[in-house]
């Protein structure tokens, strides 16, 4: 099964998730951490957009409970070079789980591609999300298969004076 979702809006950076505020306790100002209202607003908008798209696919297909492969394309307006998409990826994983597209974001076993591109000038950021359920045999290979390290890894271990653990 394959699904394609879009989100149009402001993608907050993970660093902006929490905000420190202060309140008075017995006449003294005490700091406390609260969720950033802008992040909550972006999440609400994303959840609404995901829900509309889930309706088109049929709600019976969600939440996905099997491992998936995900590809993300971020279309950014303005400063593409300056935008850190690592944090934006986390936002997408969070909304896929909160929006009940995925049962848990730990079901993302593979990220096929993550790219950032120039979007439409003067337009919000756009995220294209491709989700594909991976076959059982691929899941088993990823979970239980023997790792196939390149020869450079073994050279690296020698340089670091490290050895692989003994089997047994």
Q: How far apart are CA 73 and CA 130, in angstroms?
A: 9
For the domain spanning 2-159, the CATH number is 3.30.1330.70
Yes or no: say if 40 and 72 are a contact pair by the CB < 8 Å rule: no
Q: For 47, phi and psi rounded to 5 degrees?
A: -65, -40
Annotated domain spans of the chain: 2-159
Tens-digit pLDDT profile for residues 17-41: 666 777 788 888 887 776 777 888 8
pLDDT in tens, the chain (168 residues): 999 999 999 887 655 566 677 778 888 888 777 677 788 888 999 999 999 999 999 999 999 999 999 999 999 877 766 777 888 888 899 999 999 999 998 999 999 999 988 888 878 889 999 999 999 998 888 888 788 889 999 999 999 999 877 654
Tokens 């000038």 locate to: 121
Q: Which of 157, 105, 163, 164 is closest to 129 using CA atoms?
A: 105
């Amino acid at each position: 099964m394959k699904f394609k979702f879009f989100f149009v809006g402001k993608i907050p950076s993970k660093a902006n998730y929490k905000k420190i505020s202060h309140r008075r306790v017995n006449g003294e100002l005490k700091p406390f951490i609260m969720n950033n209202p802008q992040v909550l607003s972006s999440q609400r908008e994303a959840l609404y957009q995901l829900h509309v798209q889930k309706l088109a696919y049929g709600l019976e297909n969600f939440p996905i409970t099997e491992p998936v492969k995900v590809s993300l394309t971020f279309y950014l307006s303005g400063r593409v070079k300056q935008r850190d998409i690592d944090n934006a990826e986390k936002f997408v994983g969070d909304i896929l789980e909160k929006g009940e597209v995925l049962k848990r974001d730990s079901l993302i076993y593979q990220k096929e591609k993550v790219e950032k591109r120039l979007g439409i000038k003067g337009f919000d950021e756009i995220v294209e999300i491709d989700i594909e359920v991976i076959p059982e045999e691929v899941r088993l290979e990823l979970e239980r298969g023997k790792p196939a390290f390149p020869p450079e890894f073994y050279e690296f271990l020698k340089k670091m004076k490290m050895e692989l653990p003994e089997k047994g």
